[in-house]
Every structure is written in structure tokens, then in C-alpha cells.
A and B are shown apart, each in its own frame.
Chain A
């Protein structure tokens, strides 16, 4: 990853009447990274992506991609990007190959050897009409069209939908390869395990506002971890509750389970006075972090 910014949004705002789809969104996405863009349905992810593609225009703020204005220089930008829209739709009467030929023609040509390699990697059948393909196989054609011109920036909205686990894994490898070549992947996804696996940084959006922007590792390290402690003798729960950073404690006989986001040194200092038999720590995964951000949004049951 380098420090060159490839996608920048500045106070990006989009209103639909009284609905505020995006509010003052500031983002910097850098070359050589896979950037995960997370949020629940209706948070504003697709609106942000459609604004980047100049499909819709911001109410306020601006976007630049590869140093160019997303509205006034949109054609020049599109020479250098690849795009997979959410809820991908293509021309049902064209075969996969015809579809790619069409988009290749509009781009002024592509390297067909590379297209063949992509099709092989994703196990895509390009001879059938798109309308006759399953949603997963249709998605593969959509992915190939996005990757086929070796774009400098890939913008993808839920690109894994419908893909089987094997193809998902291959697709994740392709994204990492793009990043390792110094290119950029902007990935909006609900598949949090995938984002955790491939993304360098994530932005989390809620009600159109960015509420977190960090590297995945920082996010995970700051997140609440679960710590299992096993003692030779029973330990009073209040001793553990007094440690800074302990959120929840559950003690059962010789075992204690803590939800903890404080400093390990403080915890170790407290428990070392007891006969600790075993310590196991589990780092929160992205899904838990995501849910923590949104827990207060969850509907009452």
C-alpha cells in the first residue's frame, strides 16, 4: 500500500427530498489497498458508489477518483476503473462472451487472453446467454467485465452475491492480487468474513454518516475481546469486575469469561495473585465489531 489517494470524497452529501442518504462523507482510499465499505441495508453505501460513478449527482461535496473530478471528468475516470453494480443486471439475450465483447468494444478493446484467464479462474461459462445463467454464474460475467481492462480502481457493490465458496475464495485472491499490484479495490459487502479476509481498511457507515474508518487490524485490536481464564481455585467475580476495561464477567466455579477492551497488563497484574492455570484470548471478528456498532440500532424483539 502507498499513500497515494485514489478515491477521495469531501463532505459528500446526497439528499432525496427529506431523506438524507449521505451526510458529509469524508473518505480517502489509497492505492494498493482493499477498502471495505460496510453498513446495513439503506445506510448509504450504494448511494455513495453510484455518486462515484456519476450515476447520481451529490447535493453537496465532491468526489475525486485518480485525481479527477467524478462529475466533470467522468469519462476519463471510467477509462481507468472497473465496476460491479449491486443487484447486477445484464442483457439477457447476449451470451457472456457477447456481453464482454460489447463492453470491450466500448472500452476500445481489451486483452482477450486476460479475459480467458479470468474466465478460467472463476470457472465462468461464456457461451450461454446471460438470461439463462444462474445468478452466481451471471455474477461471474459481471466480475470478469470489471477486471478485464486491468483497472487502476475497482469499485464493487456486493460483488460476491451468489458465488459459491470456492469461487468466492478465488475472487478474494484476485482482489488481493489487484491490491498487491498497487491498484485499488473499493469493496462494499455484507460478507464480513470476506471483508475481514481481504480488506486492509474498513469504513463503516450508518444513516449516511461515516462512523468508523480504521484498518481492520486496529479495529480488531481495539474491539472487545473474549478472555477465558481458568484458575486452580475459585475467584470472586468482583475482583475481576474491578479491572479497568472489563465489560462483563461470568464466573463459574474455577472458570471466568470476560468481555474485555482494556490493557492486558492491568488484567494480568490482577489475576497473577491467583493461581492461573490457563488463559485463552479470542480477538473479536469483524462481524462482532460490526454488530457492536449497530447494536443500538437493532429492533426490539
Chain B
């Protein structure tokens, strides 16, 4: 019965991810709320009214409001939006990439029927995930005996749902028009992250506050629906946007040639055939690229590397320096007075926002730098072994006289190279930003923070590689590593608030990232050594696990 319709099959293929995400978020909420319940929250009530409203903290800040708004405002909303993006991007483009679209359309179903089925499934599953968040926000406080009176949880859930669907339909529209799954998910995720950043940054720039309204994330949380209930205007923008994007997808899917799983023509391909550039590009894109396993692996992720490194260099590095000079210092002082718990969630518990170092720690190194390195490292780590198995090329690769451990090590080398490049882009961007903004930050300290971010990313990349090597399952490796990173981050942020639990933080890799405040104190070599050793051990585990098991045979 579950395969009776396109809708049913899509839902069957996807529901597990949504359920796992909902359960994980519920557990994180339980942990966050338990910690908030045990600490003194009076500091929140002393915040200026403007800030309490801005951050969604009710006048009588309590564990429930803080736990829900802090956890769902970032992780909950992004997780659901991420799932919706994944579903939207694969709706048509995923079938094309898998080469199954022809078979699907050989049945008496139109393209728009298939798109509508996939869209319905996406809406249903995103709704299911949202319902999970809503239920957790009711049940967890009840378990912990925490009051949720005065909170508009259902309204918040509706905003989260429409926010996620907006990005899901954006991915669906791009996929429907281009047939390119990677482009659809990459652009949509990029728009989401940039929106999130812009909505956080523009209110701090005098005269630019209203620019935040140009970004979709603004309409999710700016009206603080958890305190004020549904904002019909903001919700209307999200619903209108989603409908417009769904219509765009509907028009696009019927207008173009369907793609076969074949490759597209890239700029490199064009340069490779041009007489003037043929020789050089042929060498770079051809013989050089395939000279070693690690070089070939590295070359496969050039696009992702360029985008990530560019984002970290320009947006999170160079631009932040002059931006800091333009910041409203009064607002920055207020931000600095923000509770440690809130700053901890953006990885900036120790960041003093009135200094350039503190500002960069909050904005660049707090979350974005580790996320950027992790995106690259986890993608390569998870794809390295399980990806070759899923694409059925591992057998052919291992038919050559090379050890499995050599494959693992060369793939790990490509992962380390890309992580280091993102780390270097972050370092050089921040350094240039510091120079342009006249901030006088120490080069060595910037390098230390960037290096620790790189090593932290490599730990989770190493974990993805390890899971990939042990199981051969790409999704398990990817989501396992991401899940571990989120859990460790939240746990580290929360236990730091409770003096009795501080010792536990030492078990988290995040503790060895910013706890030593490298932007002010320089490199903590002991922490660097711990992260390096962790990454190395995980790579060694990956090699051992891969050596011992049968290769998977995928259809």
C-alpha cells in the first residue's frame, strides 16, 4: 500500500529522517530546559525591554521560554527547513539524477502530477516534523514541571512550518527549472544561511535596520510569535512566497527537457576544448586531476570549496571588519550584556562584543567557521567511501593494486586539504577585515582560532569518514556526524552554564575549540593536540573498519 502512489512512496522514503530529527530536537530541548531550570535566570529580566522582545524572552524569563525560543529559533527552524530543502530539491531533480524519471513518466502520470505528489509529501512531512516540535514543547515542560503559560507554542510552530516550506518550495522551484539537485539544495541552503545572518546583523547597523526585511528569515521570527502569537502579515509573506515558488516550480517542470543522469557542460569543459586554453586546462582538468586518489577527490569538491571559502573570506572575514567600525556601539554593549546562555548557543559565550575580537568570535568563529569547515569535511568524509560504494565505483577502484587503507588515507588527505583551505580563507578574510577596519587584531591569534576551527571540523569530518568506512552508508555517515556535532555543541553550550557540569564539557570536542579564547590568548597547543589526536584516531578507525568489512553492493 505504501507504494500505491508517488506521494505514498515519497512519504515512505522520507518519514524516518523527519521522525529522527523530531526526536533528536526533543531530547535537546529536554537537556536545554533542564539546564535552564537549574540556573539563575534573573539576568534575563534585567535586559532592556527592547532586547527581551528582540530575543523572544518574556518579562519573567523562564526555562520554558528560553529553552524553546533558543533551541527552536535556530536548530529547530534550520533542521526542518533543511529537511524541506532536501525534499524539495530531490522532488524532480533527484529522480532525474538517479535516472528514474523516465521510468516514472512511462506511467500514465504527468510531470505536474508527480511534482504535486512530491510537494504534498513535503508539506505533510514538514507538518509532521513541526507537530513533533509542538508536541515536545508541550510534553518536555510537563515532564520537568516547567510552566509554559503565556507562550504561543502553536503559533510558533506555524511560523516554523511556513518558514521551512518557503525554503522547501524554493529548492523545488530551482530543481524543477534546472533539473540540478545540487544547485537547488545549495542555493536554497545558502539563501537560508545568509538570511539568518542578515537578520541578525542588520539590526546592529544604524540606519540599516530595515534592510533585514528583505530576507525571508525575518518573517519567521522577527515578530516573536512565541510571545505575540501569529503575525498575519509576516506569515502572509511566507505563505505568499511559498505559493509563488510552488507555482514557479509547476510552470518550470513542464517547460524543459528532462535531464538524463549525464553530466553537464562546465566552464572547464568549454575551456578544455578552446584552442587557446586547451593545453593548460587539459592538464589541470585532466591528467593532473587524476594523478592521485586524493587529488581526484579534492577536485570533485572544488565547487563547494570555492563557495564556502569565498563566503568565509569575503562575507564572514573581510566585510566584518569595516562593518564592526560602523556598528552602533550602544547596541553592541547591549549584546554584550546578553545572557551567557544565549551567546553560548552561537558559540560565543566568552565573546566580548565591545571588542573586535569578541565581535569576530560571536559573528565569525562562534558558529559560521566551524559550520563552514564541517560542511566541507563531513561532505567529503561521508562521500569518500560510502559515496564510491553507492555509485558502484569502489569495486573498480579497488581492482587496482592499492590497499583499502591507502584509499581511506588519501580521501582523508583530500578532506584535510579542503578543511585547511576553508580555515585559511577564514583566517585571511578576518585578517584583511581587521586591517581594513583598523581593528588591530593579532595575526597569530586569528590564525590560532582559524586553525582550531579547522581541527574541530576535521574531528567531525573524521567521524563522518569513520561511519562511512564502518557502514558504507552515506546518509548514516552524514547525519550521524551532523547529529553528533549538533548534540556536542548544544551540550557544551548548556553545561557551561552550570558550574557543577563544567567538567563534563571536557568530553566534547567543542570545548577544545573556543574555550581557551584563542582570539585573545593565542593558540592553546594542548587543545590543538587533543583535536588533532581525535581526528587522527577517527581516521584510523575508518581505515580499520573499512578494511574489515564487505563492500556494499548497491543496485
Contact = CB atoms under 8 A, between A and B. Distances in A.
Interface of A: 46, 50, 53-57, 75-76, 78-79, 81-83, 85, 87-95, 97-99, 101-103, 105-108, 129, 131-132, 142, 145
Contacts of B293: 106
Contact of B263 (A92, A103, A106): A92
Residue with the greatest number of chain B CB neighbours at <10 A, chosen from A50, A89, A101: A89
B400 A106 contact: yes
29 contacts: A50-B553, A56-B550, A75-B403, A78-B398, A78-B399, A78-B400, A78-B402, A81-B399, A82-B399, A85-B392, A85-B395, A87-B392, A90-B393, A92-B261, A92-B263, A95-B286, A97-B286, A98-B289, A98-B290, A101-B286, A101-B291, A102-B296, A103-B396, A106-B400, A106-B401, A107-B401, A129-B269, A131-B262, A132-B263
A142 B399 CA distance: 12
Interface in B269-292: 269, 286-287, 289-292
A50 B551 contact: yes
B400 A107 contact: yes
A31 B400 CA distance: 21
Contacts of A55: 394-395, 398, 550-551
B506 interface: no
Contacts of A89: 391-393, 396
Given A50-B551, A106-B400, A131 B290 contact: no
B402 A75 contact: yes
Nearest to B291: A105
Contacts of B402: 75, 78, 106
B296 A78 contact: no
A129 B396 CA distance: 17
Given A98-B289, A106-B401, A88 B396 contact: yes
Contacts of A132: 262-263
A85 B551 contact: no
A89 B397 CA distance: 10
A105 B290 contact: yes
Contacts of A142: 396
Residue with the greatest number of chain A CB neighbours at <10 A, chosen from B290, B291, B300: B290
A48 to B, nearest CB: 13
Interface string B4-35: 00000000000000000000000000000000
A108 B262 CA distance: 30
Interface of B: 261-263, 269, 286-287, 289-293, 296, 300, 391-403, 550-551, 553
A142 B397 CA distance: 12
B263 A129 contact: yes
Nearest to A94: B290
Contacts of A105: 290-292
Contacts of B551: 50, 55-56
Contacts of B400: 78, 103, 106-107
A239 B125 CA distance: 76
Contacts of A79: 401
B398 A101 contact: no
B287 A98 contact: yes
Nearest to B402: A106
Contacts of A90: 393, 396
List the 4 closest pairs (A to B, CB-CB), nearest first. Answer: A102-B290, A89-B392, A56-B550, A83-B399
Nearest to B389: A55
B75 to A, nearest CB: 35
A89 B553 CA distance: 12
A82 B400 CA distance: 8
B396 A98 contact: no
B553 A76 contact: no
Given A78-B400, A91-B393, A101-B291, 18 more contacts: A46-B553, A55-B394, A55-B551, A56-B551, A75-B402, A81-B399, A83-B399, A85-B399, A89-B392, A98-B286, A101-B286, A101-B287, A103-B396, A105-B290, A106-B397, A106-B401, A129-B263, A132-B262
A90 B550 CA distance: 20
B300 A53 contact: no
B283 to A, nearest CB: 11
A63 to B, nearest CB: 14
Nearest to B548: A57
Contacts of B553: 46, 50
Contacts of A50: 395, 551, 553
Contacts of B296: 102
Residue with the greatest number of chain A CB neighbours at <10 A, chosen from B292, B300, B395, B551: B395
A145 B395 CA distance: 13
Contacts of A91: 393
Contacts of B289: 98
A57 B550 contact: yes
Contacts of A107: 400-401
A131 B286 contact: no
B383 to A, nearest CB: 13
B292 A131 contact: no
A76 to B, nearest CB: 7
Contacts of B401: 75-76, 78-79, 106-108
A90 B286 CA distance: 15
A94 B391 CA distance: 14
A274 B287 CA distance: 76
A132 B401 CA distance: 28
Nearest to B393: A89
Contacts of A88: 396
A79 B399 CA distance: 9
A270 B43 CA distance: 113
Contacts of A103: 396, 400
Contacts of B287: 98, 101
A129 B266 CA distance: 11
B308 to A, nearest CB: 20
Nearest to A53: B399
A145 B391 CA distance: 18
Contacts of B391: 89
Given A50-B553, A56-B551, A105-B292, A93 B263 contact: yes
Contacts of A95: 286
Contact of B396 (A56, A83, A97, A131): A83
Contacts of B292: 105
A103 B286 CA distance: 13
Contacts of A131: 261-263
Contacts of B261: 92, 131
A107 B290 CA distance: 12
B191 to A, nearest CB: 26
Nearest to A78: B401
A64 to B, nearest CB: 17
A289 to B, nearest CB: 29
